[in-house]
Structure 1
């Protein structure tokens, strides 16, 4: 469905890739999904420079660090974002599957499904494209992230996929963007508080995510329909 767009724009990165998609190709039908994590300020700044009214979707799992919530408010105000959509898991689903709030301890995959994957899929309904901040230098399953790919009938855009860590740091410095407050405490990648520890390195910044487990991703970067079916089967 989106082969022509991919072929035309796949060689571009950063704002050069994002601008035509936001302002022209998918105007009114594209959203940015942000965790407001360690490097989120770069992509959010690029997007705000193009269109401050671009819908920005963020998942509040109910397990976030208080520092992340404060950072979200700080960046939203600083960048003048006018359409921030804070998405939370459905109350009835939590009551049915995680009433004690401890599901992450015994089944982290299912926890991510009900707190992240399913709420995001519901929110993306109606959008033809969405933007994420994955980068190849994060390694693991992200080592070969494409800048553009069709996933479950939508175009998925990763404008920073080919950026290096040095480029990210240079961008933050150039525009004097605030860092996430947990960086100075040793958190190089920041997710939910119970499943994130302070560690990581330049070669493996996501080492602190689900430390000690084989789990590497929350699931939102897989097919949403497959994840939804998996969650329904688990329930």
Structure 2
């Protein structure tokens, strides 16, 4: 297979993503999800959720469109017990029918993180074996995925489009344009339970060793990997296959 042949599918995905982004720049989150469904079909679409501090809003909108859309949840082995309990509560509350909890491979953990200290010595490598690789494996059957990134979260997320491509798949960002106030309104209107750690000052929750409390005037993700240059785990900066 020539280099040109390899690049053609990626070029086609990129072109489709640009067209969809242009059409959906002012669309509501529900309209974006409906378009994703229409574009690839439920069997080819997944929503990736951390079941974190703002996740319930996107899951609620998705459930209103189609509660059977597969939801991929990365159970890294380092999550707060509160996050696992919140996942189970939201599944019941929203009537989600296809939530898939994906874990890292035991062989990778044994080989690369036998002492569970990789998060400290090499957080990028820790994220790779606990998040990036499991997500790539989970998304292999799908041709498009939905995630909950918002521009107001700042950092690398400040300029995300509504639709993009990750090199191999369409990637829909239904909440790219929403504000923190709109997220709060969805919680209030739908009477959604907050993540249990919000009351303790966590604006964003990931793995236990790499999440900390943040001040109200900080970016939503200021408490992630605090004190390091790292701002993303890698699932949004790495191709999914």
TM-score (norm 1): 0.92
Instruction: State the SS of the aligned residue for 2:145.
Output: strand
* Paired residues for 1:1-235 under 5 Å: 1=12, 2=16, 3-22=18-37, 24-27=38-41, 28-224=43-239
Report the Cα offset of residue 142 of structure 1: 0.6
Rounded Cα–Cα distance in structure 2 between residues aligned with 1:205 and 1:6: 25
Whether the 8 Å CA contact 1:132–1:158 is kept in 2: the answer is: yes
Rounded Cα–Cα distance in structure 2 between residues aligned with 1:109 and 1:155: 24
Per-residue Cα deviation, 1:185-213 (whole angstroms, up to 9, x for no partner): 01010000011111143441111101111
Runs of 4+ in 1 over 4 A off after TM superposition: none
Q: CA RMSD of the aligned region, Å?
A: 1.3
Per-residue Cα deviation, 1:83-111 (whole angstroms, up to 9, x for no partner): 00000000000000001111001000000
Rounded Cα–Cα distance in structure 1 between residues aligned with 2:117 and 2:205: 19
Structure 1 residue ranges without an equivalent (≥5): 229-235
TM-score (norm 2): 0.90
Instruction: State the SS of the aligned residue for 1:187.
Output: coil
The alignment of Structure 1 onto Structure 2 pairs a total of residues equal to 225
Whether the 8 Å CA contact 1:131–1:157 is kept in 2: the answer is: yes
Residue 231 of structure 1 corresponds to which residue in structure 2? Answer: none
Residue 232 of structure 1 corresponds to which residue in structure 2? Answer: none
Whether the 8 Å CA contact 1:59–1:88 is kept in 2: the answer is: yes
Report the Cα offset of residue 4 of structure 1: 3.7
Instruction: State the SS of the aligned residue for 2:192.
Output: coil
Rounded Cα–Cα distance in structure 2 between residues aligned with 1:34 and 1:74: 14
Rounded Cα–Cα distance in structure 1 between residues aligned with 2:19 and 2:122: 41
Whether the 8 Å CA contact 1:189–1:208 is kept in 2: the answer is: yes
Whether the 8 Å CA contact 2:21–2:161 is kept in 1: the answer is: no
